[in-house]
Amino acid sequence: MINPNLKHLRVFVEIARRGSFRNAAAALHMSEPAASQAIAQLESMLAVKLLDRTTRTVRLTEPGAAFLVDAERLLDGMDHSIATLREFATTGRGRVTLACLSSTVYRLLPPALAEMKRRYPEINVVFRDDSMRGILHSLDSGECDVAIVSDDASNKRGLTIPLVTDSFQVVCQALHPLARQRQVSGADLAEQELVLLRRGSGIRDAFDRAIERLAIKLNVIHETTQFHTVLGLVESGLGVTVLPSMLCPAPTNSAFAVRPLVRPLVSRKLGLVFPADKEPSFAARALAEVVHQSVIASSLQTPPGVTKILRA
């Protein structure tokens, strides 16, 4: 089966925009019969009529109008990618914006950014740390070229390049009774006063769903949007919290005890994703590959509870 190519798409889009085979052919520096043949081939391959044409007018059919949106998106993405690649090939310069969850900045990005600078010194990497909601908005609006996100319910696009699995753990004061246990269950937490991230965050929602499946009732006394505030309240003895391992204090921090959460087991996958409506640029693909290689490298030490995902 022969599939439509860029020539077919460009001819179709140009005719749709100009409303004329003759004007479209002139703009594309081709003959009018060649343009007509390209549309006939495209309609034959798709088995659908895209254009209604008479001796005077050319109009989109209903399927043609729907197809035009996707055709323009594909061509714009390809044109952007080619222009970026040509610019890099000519000047060696480029720019890429990475949106990422705050918890990944310190743990995962430094070695990747250092390696990116070594390999591609003329590509300027700009990163923005944000919440899942903010990152998904940046992806949809085209404000970023690649993002590090989790696979929670708000992320409908999945992960293009999985990086790590991040297990949830219980964090308490070092002298708290729970610190004497090797692991902590949801039933144990039901007997404690909890300090948690506010509802609506991906982390809190994932934890709540797991707890609700076990019909465990919790006593949440403080909620906040900042995990640093959560840890400050825990350190002050105002409660116990549950966080992904990426956000937990390091084992060298003697003020806290960190214990695995069991029954329920809760985890999230973190990985890279590109905007759905445009072709990734050379710089975006290069950055994604460098981030992935840096994360799975044996030299990168991940926190306890974080497991690297090795692609086949």
- Across residues 213-217, what is the average pLDDT? 94
* C-alpha distances out from residue 135 to 143, 146, 154, 187, 227, Å: 9, 10, 11, 34, 18
DSSP state of 4: P
Tens-digit pLDDT profile for residues 220-262: 999 998 888 999 999 999 999 999 999 999 999 999 999 999 9
Tens of pLDDT, residue by residue over 151-164, are 876 666 778 899 99
Strand partners, 60: 51
Q: How far apart are CA 27 and CA 70, in angstroms?
A: 21
Distance CA 119, CA 144 (A): 21
Q: What percentage of the chain carries pLDDT values higher than 90?
A: 56
DSSP helix/strand/coil, 250 = coil
- Is residue 252 within 8 A of residue 205, CB to CB? The reply is no
The DSSP string of 56-102 is S-EEE-HHHHHHHHHHHHHHHHHHHHHHHHHHHHHHS-EEEEEEEEH
Q: What is the mean pLDDT of residues 189-200?
A: 94
**In b/e form, how buried is each residue of 281-293, taking b as 16+ CB within 10 angstroms?**
bbbbbbbbebbbe
Domains of the chain in sequence order: 6-89 (1.10.10.10), 92-163+270-303 (3.40.190.10), 164-268 (3.40.190.290)
* Alpha carbon 69 to chain centroid, angstroms: 23
pTM for the model: 0.67
Poorest-pLDDT segment among 113-117, 123-127, 186-190, 256-260: 123-127
Pairing of strands 256-262, 306-308: unpaired
Q: Does the pLDDT value for residue 86 go beyond 80? A: no
Give the separation between CA 312 and CA 310, rounded to whole angstroms: 7
